[in-house]
Amino acid sequence: MAENDTGLKPKTTTKPKLERPKLYKVILVNDDYTPREFVIMVLKAVFHMSEETGYRMMLTAHKMGVCVIVVCARDIAESKAKEATDLGKEAGFPLMFTTEPEE
Ligand code: TYC
Condensed to tens digits (0 to 9), the pLDDT of residues 16-70 reads 778 888 999 999 999 999 999 999 999 999 999 999 999 999 999 999 999 999 9
How far does residue 61's CA lie from ligand 1's centre (Å)? 7
Identify the band that residue 1 occupies on the pLDDT scale cut at 50, 70 and 90.
Answer: very low
> What is the full DSSP assignment across 3-67?
TT---PPPP---PPPPPPPPEEEEEEE--SSS-HHHHHHHHHHHH---HHHHHHHHHHHHHHSEE
What pTM did the predictor assign? 0.84
Which atom belonging to ligand 1 lies closest to the Cα atom of 66? 11
The whole-number pLDDT of residue 5 equals 58
More confident of the two residues 25 and 4: 25
Query: Which protein residue's CA is at the shortest distance from atom 7 of ligand 1?
Result: 62
CATH class of 23-101: alpha beta
Identify the band that residue 103 occupies on the pLDDT scale cut at 50, 70 and 90.
Answer: confident
Which atom belonging to ligand 1 lies closest to the Cα atom of 33? 13
48 lines ligand 1 (CB under 6 A): no
28 lines ligand 1 (CB under 6 A): yes
98 lines ligand 1 (CB under 6 A): no
The whole-number pLDDT of residue 17 equals 77
